[in-house]
Chain A
Amino acid sequence: MKLIAGVDIGNSTTEVCIGDMQADGSIRFVSGASRMTTGTKGTPANVGGICAALEEAMDKVQRPVSDIHLVCLNEAAPVIGDTAMETITETIITESSMIGHNPSTPAGAGQAVGELIFLEHLGEGIKGQPYIVAAAAVHTYEEIAGQLNAHHGRLDIRGLILQADEAVLVENRLVFEIPIVDEVRHIRNIPEGKQAAIEVALPGQTVRMLSNPYGIATLLKLTPQETRSVTPIAKNLIGKRSAVVIKTPHGNIRENILPAGEIYLHGDREAMVNIDAGADKIMAALEGAGLIRDISGQADTNVGNMLSRIKIGMAEVSEEALDAVRITDILAVDTMAPVQISGSLAGETCMEKAVGIAAMVKTKQLPMERIARRLQRELMVNVKVAGVEAVMASLGALTTPGTQLPVAVLDMGGGSTDAALIECDGTVRTTHQAGAGELVTLLIQTELGLKSRISAEQIKKYPMAKVESLFHMRLENGQMQFFQESIDPRYFGHVVLLTPGELLKIEEDIPMEKIYNVRRDAKRKVFVRNALRALREVAPDHELKAISNVVLVGGSAEDFEVPEMLMEELSEYRIVCGRGNIRSSEGPRNAVATGLVLSYLGGK
């Protein structure tokens, strides 16, 4: 009876597995545990997390930690991942030429054209001239409606722009019908005396005339030249419930392409790619460059700064000289980020193009021996560094019922996606690719414009529902779920995440369908792309069809939809692919730790 512990230090969790060596030389697994990794993977700070996990595992079998005969640490792959995001376009409104937003309750419907006039100056209005009135929040709705009604017979009032949220209130008190746009925050910036077109969409629809360049041209009588210049305005108004376009001689809106810069790939072949080209081109260039030694960016550009930030960060955590840190792989993903338009009148946002990059840094050998010595001192048990991570993961994965050699193991963690292929003769090929769970979180956060990284992380992890009344909610797959007791009123009308045990509400006002699409897209862009990339790398002759079995392990394999996505994708190549079930009980976690315990058998 000898207790053997396997310890796997990952980027985000530290996992242990305890095996009991029987007299006949077989191993019986008795316990396991998982804890957050303390400090950066591969540094002596990890010892705290390891001790906690070991204690937890031994507590489960009511034995002291000192009963352990040997602790096996994995030879962690010396790669650390990081992610960054940069917008590469920017929209600027010069002068006040456009308002386009989604106030919750505009009023009236239809389009109108007229000269802008403030409510205070209605008395000076000229008969026969069509007007669009702008009213600040200092005037009450009674006052505004009264004034407009009083001038109605004399002046031709076509539309109304309000600062306060009172469109319906004013409309209900008007004796005539006009479209009304409200909640325009910076109403004083509206240029009086200019021609403007206003549009409010019918319920359930979005603006049609003002989101069409020819529509704007029709309403404001533009020349073909001017029509060309309003195209970006029209583009920005697509999908809005209400809009105002103001004809100013110099006013314009333009989309700036930021100096996003070029990426230099130093590999078997030198390659260079502009980040504007998009993620597909970048990835193609990366493939074309062969084995990568280092990747850098053009100095003083967004991407250059981004890559150097990653390197500086990595140099700090790995305590290496900056020039010794080399980026050996990147994964680029196209995305959109909602950014507030500079110069906007109502706080409008615009979806700007952005690129998300996960980079992987190869460091020198990680100081695993130092961790081992420190652990030995603290626990007073034997500790040894045994086995390469990928091999151990494969060994552990093979405890999944129904697997056989040759098998490919896809380890999807937080920072990197690793693949290993074991042939029947025992030869192993491995690869590490940048980009995994953390990049997905970053994509979700940017595309939905979430303030906190934590809520993005939770959106990634759990399915959603919308609380439609106090007694029922609609799940994301369309099903209804009813309750006997009322749901906590705080959740009313919110999109909630169904975490085990409690509901978590999403504070931002984003429709469930949009969150659903963004979440699935992000996972597909990162995991599916990376899985194919990694498997192709380890496959015989880089031919996916030559792989027959793929076992998914690692934290991200626990995701509720990623394994299904991969299964669908890989079934095209006739690959048997599924989530691992380590030791028939652990699910996709604990593969490396289990492998380490098993390796003790082989090592003996």
Chain B
Amino acid sequence: MEINEELIQAITRAVMKEIDKNGQSGGGSLTGKTRMMPKTSYKGYPQAVKGSDPKEVVIGVGPAFQKEIKATITGIPLDDVLQNIRAGIEEEGMVSRVVKVLKTSDVCFMGLEAAKISGSGIGIGLQSKGTAVIHQKDLYPLSNLELFPQAPLITLDMYRKIGQNAARYVKGEKVTPIESVNDPMVRAKFQVKAALMHIKETEQVDPEIPMIEWGKA
């Protein structure tokens, strides 16, 4: 079969007709809609400051974390994700602190920002869709200690281990990389959802307020 522009246009017209008939376009047209969610203002929240506890691991969560987005890309509640990372850090005898990074939605920069204000120099970046990274304050932003790029494959057990590994970096112990599964289809399967979640998160970026304490967990 030959695919040409005419054919694509014909298909598009047919699909649009169906959508209009079923009223699926979200109640009217998309014209004039520029955001997915209204912007939350964090004015008045306490700014995150540099910690002095050498046992501290700072978890830097994304701008939409636990607010506009409540669960990871596979639906794991973010409350549970955070609780498991913190449990992992606690089991290794270290202390955790959570901050919300508002200046960026990039996981590596979030991790680095968290590491920079961490008393130990070790931080964890955690996007609302579930992607995580362990970072150290002296590393370049795009390098890192450990990166967990495939959010759809991360389980709660792995989040616990991410917390444990971060704490082991603080202690200067030998860290065993976390066993994880790899699925080449995951990218294709979740690409659209990941893009939408990332847009949702990026919408909440606020360069004016770089980082706030996020005690809620």
Contacts and interface: CB of A to CB of B under 8 A. Distances in A.
Contact of B91 (A166, A469, A486): A166
14 contacts: A104-B173, A165-B91, A166-B91, A168-B92, A169-B87, A470-B136, A470-B139, A486-B138, A486-B143, A489-B143, A492-B145, A492-B169, A493-B169, A495-B174
Interface residues of B, number: 20
A486 B141 CA distance: 13
A167 B92 CA distance: 9
A362 B139 CA distance: 59
Contact of A168 (B91, B139, B172, B175): B91
Nearest to B176: A509
A468 B172 CA distance: 6
Interface string A477-500: 000000000100100111100000
Nearest to B146: A489
Contacts of A495: 174
B174 A169 contact: no
Contacts of B144: 489
Interface of B: 87, 90-93, 136, 138-139, 143-146, 164, 168-169, 172-176
A469 B143 CA distance: 16
Contacts of B93: 105, 168
A442 B78 CA distance: 50
Q: Quick one: which of B91, B136, B145 has the most chain A CB within 10 A?
A: B91
Given A489-B145, A509-B174, A168 B138 contact: no
A471 interface: yes
Tell me if B's interface is mostly helix, strand, loop or mixed: loop
Given A166-B91, A168-B90, A169-B87, A469 B139 contact: no
A168 B164 CA distance: 12
Contacts of B87: 141, 166, 169
Given A172-B90, A468-B172, A489-B139, 8 more contacts: A104-B173, A141-B87, A169-B87, A169-B90, A470-B138, A493-B169, A493-B172, A509-B174
A509 B91 CA distance: 20
Contact of A493 (B91, B92, B138, B168): B168
A489 B90 contact: no
A166 B91 CA distance: 6
B87 to A, nearest CB: 6
B92 A492 contact: no
Contacts of A493: 168-169, 172-175
Contacts of A105: 91-93
Interface in A524-574: none
**Closest 7 CB pairs between A and B?**
A493-B174, A489-B145, A168-B91, A169-B91, A493-B173, A494-B174, A493-B175
A509 to B, nearest CB: 6
A486 B92 contact: no
Contacts of B145: 489, 492
Nearest to B139: A486
B174 A469 contact: no
A303 B129 CA distance: 60
Interface string A450-472: 00000000000000000011110
A168 B168 CA distance: 14
A469 B93 CA distance: 19
B97 to A, nearest CB: 16
B172 A469 contact: yes
Contacts of B139: 470, 486, 489
Interface string A151-187: 0000000000000011111001000000000000000
Nearest to A494: B174
Contacts of A489: 136, 139, 143-146
Contact of A471 (B138, B164, B169): B138
A114 to B, nearest CB: 24
Contacts of A486: 138-139, 143
Contacts of B168: 493
Contacts of A141: 87
Contacts of A509: 174, 176
A509 B175 CA distance: 9
Contacts of A169: 87, 90-91
A169 B176 CA distance: 21
Nearest to B83: A142
B90 A492 contact: no
Nearest to B171: A493
B206 to A, nearest CB: 30
A506 to B, nearest CB: 9
A469 B164 CA distance: 18
Contacts of B172: 468-469, 493
Contacts of A468: 172
Interface in A105-161: 105, 141
A505 to B, nearest CB: 9
A83 to B, nearest CB: 30
Contacts of B173: 104, 493
A169 B139 CA distance: 31
B72 to A, nearest CB: 20
A138 to B, nearest CB: 13
